[in-house]
Amino acid sequence: MSPTRSRQDRLRELYKAFNSKDKVLITICADPDSLASAMALKRLLWRKVKGVTITHFNEIKRFDNLTMIRLLKIPLVKPQRLRVSDFTKTVLVDGQPNHSESFAGLKFDVIIDHHPLTQQLQACFVDIRPRYGSTATIMTEYLQAAKIRPSKSLATAIIFAIKVDTGNFESGVTEEDIKAFRYLFPYADMNLLRKIEMADMQTEDLEYFRRALENKEVIGGKIFTHLGQIESPDNLVQVADFFMRLHEIAWVVVSGVYRKTLVVVIRNDGFRKDAGAWTNRAFGRFGSAGGRRSRARAEIPLTDLQEHLRKDDPTDLGRFVIRQFKKGGGSR
């Protein structure tokens, strides 16, 4: 989509992708940005289509996400409880088809995302804006173009999403993100927002911090740590964000194994660095890999790594990540 198109033009093109008889399925890998974006799209389609259902393909374990869903009453349906064939239109927000194996086999009619484009997309409506700090910011502009005043829960969800995806306005933030925040602030519930932000961890999560500290390697302003088997990729995110608080650290690389898949979460300070581009160079040939300048992620099936690892050495996964980091150019 042309960046010169006005908000009203974009909105008209979005609405052209639907009709009043459509049953719409919005698919996400649930996190604050995708949840808020799905809520916004559902509001935009109110009275425009026959019905809208939001489904998530990942297991939701982070307490801030669970609290966000509970307090804001976000309606979600697990994919096991529905049939894609029952829907006439399928939408993907805050992601692209190759970002998750869960999206394989799905034909998307609409794709809206803020991550860099990683493949040619086949859909009747595509809006990819990698300059934006969050997909929720994009959705805010659609709400404004439609002259829709956001509800308290929707405004709160979008503000939380923008804060999370921009590291509380410390990385990857744009003028559009700030404008969206200023527009939404009067409509949001700050008390609910504080409750969501405070619901971060449970006692069991401390085990992953113990592993991270025991396994960490600090090499010239970079921290690497491998956590082994994890309950959720969110465990890696929590550890990575924690380590980025260390003032002398420029890169954090945290890895673990989730359901026979190596997951690598990368963070950096964003200064003359591009985590997304590096991750693609380092891991793209093995599996899905990419992200933004200051945060990125890779997911690689273990079956695709057998020839690259030393047999009977479970610790080699962590060393493999370090080797690939250097090959990807992340040592700069």
pLDDT at position 294: 83
Which tokens hold the place of 229? 């088997």
Q: What is the pLDDT of residue 168?
A: 85
Residue 30: pLDDT band with limits 50, 70, 90: very high
Q: Specify whether the CB–CB gap between 95 and 103 falls below 8 A.
A: yes
Cα distances (angstroms) measured from residue 41 to each of 164, 229, 234, 245, 250 = 19, 36, 25, 34, 36
pTM of the complete model beyond 0.85: no
DSSP state letters, 9-45:
HHHHHHHHT--TT-EEEEEE--SHHHHHHHHHHHHHT
Phi, psi of 264, deg, nearest 5: -125, 125
pLDDT tops 50 at residue 213: yes
In this predicted structure, what is the pLDDT of residue 28?
96
pLDDT higher than 70, residue 1: no
CA angle 40, 90, 30 (to 5 degrees): 55
Asked if the model's pLDDT at residue 3 lies above 70, the reply is no
| pLDDT value of residue 312 | 58
For residue range 111-157, list pLDDT tens digits in order: 999 998 877 888 999 999 999 999 999 999 999 999 999 999 999 99
152-199 pLDDT, tens digit each: 999 999 999 999 999 888 777 899 999 999 999 999 999 999 999 887
DSSP state, residue 101: G
- Residue 41 in contact with residue 154, Cβ under 8 Å? no
- Across all residues in the chain, what is the average pLDDT? 90
Side-chain half-sphere exposure of 181, counting CA atoms within 13 A: 20
For residues 218-244, give the mean pLDDT: 90
Q: Are 176 and 92 in contact (CB under 8 A)?
A: no
Amino acid at 112: I
Taken in order of first residue, the domains within the chain and their CATH numbers are 7-198 (3.90.1640.10), 205-327 (3.10.310.30)
Residue 295 predicted with pLDDT over 80? yes
- Bridge partner residues of 53 (DSSP): 25
pLDDT band at residue 313 using 50, 70 and 90 as cut-offs: low
Phi, psi (degrees; rounded to nearest 5) at 110: -140, 135
For the chain, give the percent of residues with pLDDT over 70: 95
pLDDT at 281 over 80: yes
Q: Which residues pair with 223 in a beta bridge?
A: 218, 252
pLDDT at 67 over 70: yes
Count of Cβ atoms closer than 10 Å to residue 35 Cβ:
27
Query: Does residue 330 register a pLDDT over 60?
Result: no
Give the pLDDT confidence score for residue 124 in this predicted structure: 93
**166, two tokens:** 């921009």
pLDDT of residue 324: 87
Per-residue pLDDT, 203: 79
